[in-house]
Amino acid sequence: MTIPSAPTPAPDIPTGVAFVAYTDEGRIDGHGNMPQEMFYFCRNERGHNILMGHGRSETHYIEFVGEARAPVLRIRPQLAQGFDKTEIAVREAATLPDVPAATVSFEGPMKGTHRHPGGDLVVGWTLPGTYTVRIEAFPYLPAEFKLTVGDAT
C-alpha cells in the first residue's frame, strides 16, 4: 500500500504593491497591483507615470507639489458651495460663486453644454421647468444641482 505524499506547497507569490497610473494633468487612468520590482522598473527605467497607493479616478487625483512637481495622491474634493437660490422665475438668474474652470451641462426643458472659464457661474432660463445642472471641474468631484424655474405670469 502506498501512502500518499503531502501535497507540494504553493510557491510564494509576491503580493506586490498597489499603484495608480496617471496623466500629466493628474487624472488617474489606471490602478492595480504589481510586484515591487516591476513597479520600480516601470517607474524608474520606463518613465511611466505611476505612484504607489490605492486610488481610482472616481475618488482620487494626483497633485503635483513644489518646484519638483512631486506627485502626491489626493482625494478629490467636493465643490463646497451651492447656487444662491434653487427656485427662480423665468429670466431670473441664479449664481454659483467662484467656480473653477469647468464644463457645465444642463438638462430640462432646454438642454446644453457650456465651457465655463472660471469665476461666478450665472444661469437662467426662458422656459419654466426643473433643470439639472452638472458641473465637472477637475480635480473636484462632479457636482449636480436641481433648479426650478417658475412661470413668470
pLDDT reading at 12 higher than 60: no
Mean pLDDT within 82-94? 95
Q: Give residue 11's pLDDT.
A: 58
Using pLDDT thresholds of 50, 70 and 90, give the confidence band for residue 50: very high
CATH number of the domain to which 127 belongs: 2.60.40
pLDDT, mean over the chain: 90
pLDDT reading at 8 higher than 70: no
Indicate whether 8 belongs to any domain.
no
pTM: 0.77
Is residue 96 located within the same domain as residue 62? no
Q: Give residue 2's pLDDT.
A: 57
Is residue 38 located within the same domain as residue 61? yes
Total number of domains in the chain: 2
**Whole-angstrom Cα distance, residue 28 to residue 76?**
11
pLDDT reading at 153 higher than 50: no
Query: 25, 55, 75 — which closes off a domain?
Result: 75
**Whole-angstrom Cα distance, residue 28 to residue 46?**
18
Q: Which domain holds residue 53?
A: 17-75
Indicate whether 7 belongs to any domain.
no
pLDDT reading at 114 higher than 50: yes
Indicate whether 71 belongs to any domain.
yes
**Whole-angstrom Cα distance, residue 58 to residue 35?**
25
Indicate whether 54 belongs to any domain.
yes
pLDDT reading at 150 higher than 80: yes
Is residue 104 located within the same domain as residue 127? yes
Predicted confidence (pLDDT) per residue in 122-141, tens digit:
999 999 999 999 999 999 99
Query: 30, 49, 75 — which closes off a domain?
Result: 75
Q: Give residue 4's pLDDT.
A: 58
Indicate whether 143 belongs to any domain.
yes
Is residue 48 located within the same domain as residue 91? no
